[in-house]
Structure 1
Amino acid sequence: SPVCLGETPTTHCVKMAALIRRSHLLPNNLHQAKIAFSTSCAASTAKKYVRMVPIREDENGLPSKAIARSTLASLSDRGFCRPMKPYKPADDVEDRVKAIFEDVLGQKAESSWLQTPIAEPLLKFRLLTRCIKEFGHDIPSSQLMNVKCADDVVEFFSTPIEGLSPYETLVKQKDQLPKNLHVVPNYVRFHPETDTFFGGVNAYPGTSTIVTGLKAKKKYKGYVASPTWPYTISST
């Protein structure tokens, strides 16, 4: 580089050495500065848009009504065709529950005994197991949370059960259904021993039909097909 007036060659060499040294350090410093700037910008942006959403609980203490509705709907759909044991309540359900209630508590029941809360787990267990044995009617796990006082126990054991699933109820009332609703009580299932039109071969070779339900096994036969050719079939 040209030498300025008034500079000695030694001074000029010293300045050039300093500039060269600074030029080697400058890219690293710029890179680190860019990283620091980007990090600070990202942090400030995140702070700007981050919003704390509190977890809300509904009346039953569930974390979210949306999640609760989805879970309950799933359980409802899963148990839509679940068979239930028929139950016809006796005429003296309240008196018999009261006698069991007094025996479990070991004291005379008050006039407002139906409103007595059943919060203690051991008391609830003893009362319900005695009632189940007395009436021969089980309480499903899904109903245990609804039993909060003695009146709930009386109401449960006073409710008749037809022993039909909602779908079977529709079949029973098929004459009262709308004209655009058709219910099939006994649906058709493929089986190689009875459907021999194509030599016992179904539309999906190599697929099996396995019937797992105890009630369904009485109505439908299953079979196991080999997943590879020649797709041999054996009954279950």
Structure 2
Amino acid sequence: MLSLVGTLPLLLMLTATTFFYCLGALYDERRDRSILFWKSLPLSDTHTVLSKVITVTIVAPLIVIGVSTATAVLLVLFAGVIAALNGVNVFGALLTNPIILLAPLRALGMLPVYLIWALPTVGWLLMVSAWARSKVFLWAVGVPVIALVLVKWIVYVLGAGHAALTLMETVVVRILFGLVPGSWLGGEASAMDGRGGQITIERVSSLLSESWTSLATPGVWVGAVAGMAMIYAAIRLRRFRDEG
């Protein structure tokens, strides 16, 4: 049985690695003064910051897709060898299984969706990384969480403003969890593993279509524009930030 949970460690590693990479990308270079070296190179602040964005949203996911594909191939070969030792030939069935063969292509098909959904988080973390003089994690995570708690408290006291609370919750989720692969799918992916324990080609295909359908909502593009604005702010902050 194939399970989506098998890729969970890689996805968690991707999320954690890219999150903290963005968080320290512009802060660490000021702290250790390596920014002086980078600024001596013929690279503009725009090129430097955008290279970090590309690393997080394209290069890192491609590496994870490559590693997961190689791991899947090894597991398939291992399962085939074990079955062959027991007198059962399953290589034909495994190597012609469309779910296995098309999995890397479907993952690549979700990459543009991941990039768009990740922009608010990438922009927010890079902007904070370029701005904060210390305790960058507390600024990046603490500020939105405290703001959300305050809004919830105000709504509770006034008994009104639930629309503002919903908006604030959406903003916090978008700027903190956009780097989680498949975050736009909600419970759809987990539901696939729970429907009879069987993953069919139709269910796997529905993930790809569901991913692209998520781009039809205006909020996704508002978040993407906000993310690009924060990336621009990070570029400007890197250019003019003076750490003395």
Report which of the two has the higher share of helix: 2
**For the superposition of Structure 1 and Structure 2, which TM-score range results when normalised by the shorter chain?**
under 0.3
Higher relative contact order (Cα pairs below 8 Å, separated by 6+ residues): 2
With normalisation by structure 1, the TM-score equals 0.20
Higher-Rg member (1/2)? 1
